[in-house]
Chain A
Amino acid sequence: MLDKRAFRVLDILLSMTSEGESAVIEKTEVLSKLEEEITVDELDSIVEMLALNDLISILYSDDKLYGIAPRPKGRIAYEKRQQAVTEQTAVATQQTSVVAVTDAIDENGIEIPVRLNMKKLATICAVSSFIGGFFAALFAFIIARFC
């Protein structure tokens, strides 16, 4: 199963291709665009995994370069991720009280958001604590009265 890092590498590789054409990409370029630091060997294994999952095909590989061609499945995953990112940005700007907290990703690498509405959460907490306090006071009254 591919993780978030693998899908980020896929995004970087496919952003350098145009209209499904093959591309020659320098490894240092990919490493510089990736937010986290990884070694060249780790990058090689991620790229191999992407190829095994039929997202890209590796035409050429040496110490410095990759020659890759995007596969249809990889192209679809990339476009879906780009669309999801655009939608998430649009929704986030509209609802400022919405927080998306997620660790889950689907088969296309799109994050599955768990949306928490802070106002709703605060209301629920207030009502729950009121009800809890009410019943605690009621029991305390009954015990004091009849015991």
Chain B
Amino acid sequence: MVLGKKERVLMDVVYKQASRSVNGQCVLSPLDMLSRIPYRVDFRESDLEETMNQLVLDNYFEYEKAKKSTGDIMYIITLKENGISYQRDKMVSRRKLIFRIITTIIIAALSFSIKYILSAIFK
């Protein structure tokens, strides 16, 4: 699944917290999540639930809103199929990308050198 920048960044945060527990669950407040997102990504508080809902639709995790005794909102997040394999999928897609780049370089080099090979054969 190809994720957007915001989705990827949020999923990194969620995965890091949820993968620590055996059953792939974690409890996070909106502030916890936003504080863990790097500053270079333009991620607002209003983007949070929208991005979370998109990840829920893509079967990465499900979440439940709960209130603490202090009245603060917390998200109880449980990883689902795609979420559990998120890290592995990331590594696999990186490997695929590297492989594609190497293949492209080889083909480009081969294409460039065909002229000289042909001229050497038919000299």
Contacts and interface: CB of A to CB of B under 8 A. Distances in A.
Nearest to A67: B76
B66 interface: yes
Given A65-B27, A67-B76, A21 B69 contact: no
B68 A23 contact: yes
Contacts, number: 41
Given A60-B27, A60-B76, A67-B27, A21 B66 contact: yes
Interface in A11-53: 16-18, 21-26, 29
27 contacts: A16-B69, A17-B67, A18-B67, A21-B65, A21-B66, A22-B64, A22-B65, A22-B67, A23-B66, A23-B67, A23-B68, A24-B27, A24-B67, A24-B68, A24-B74, A25-B68, A26-B69, A29-B69, A59-B64, A59-B66, A59-B76, A60-B25, A60-B76, A62-B21, A67-B64, A67-B76, A69-B66
Interface of B: 21, 25, 27, 64-69, 74, 76
Interface of A: 16-18, 21-26, 29, 59-60, 62, 65, 67, 69
Please provide the 4 A-B residue pairs with the shortest distance between their CB atoms, ordered closest to farther. Answer: A22-B66, A67-B76, A24-B74, A60-B76
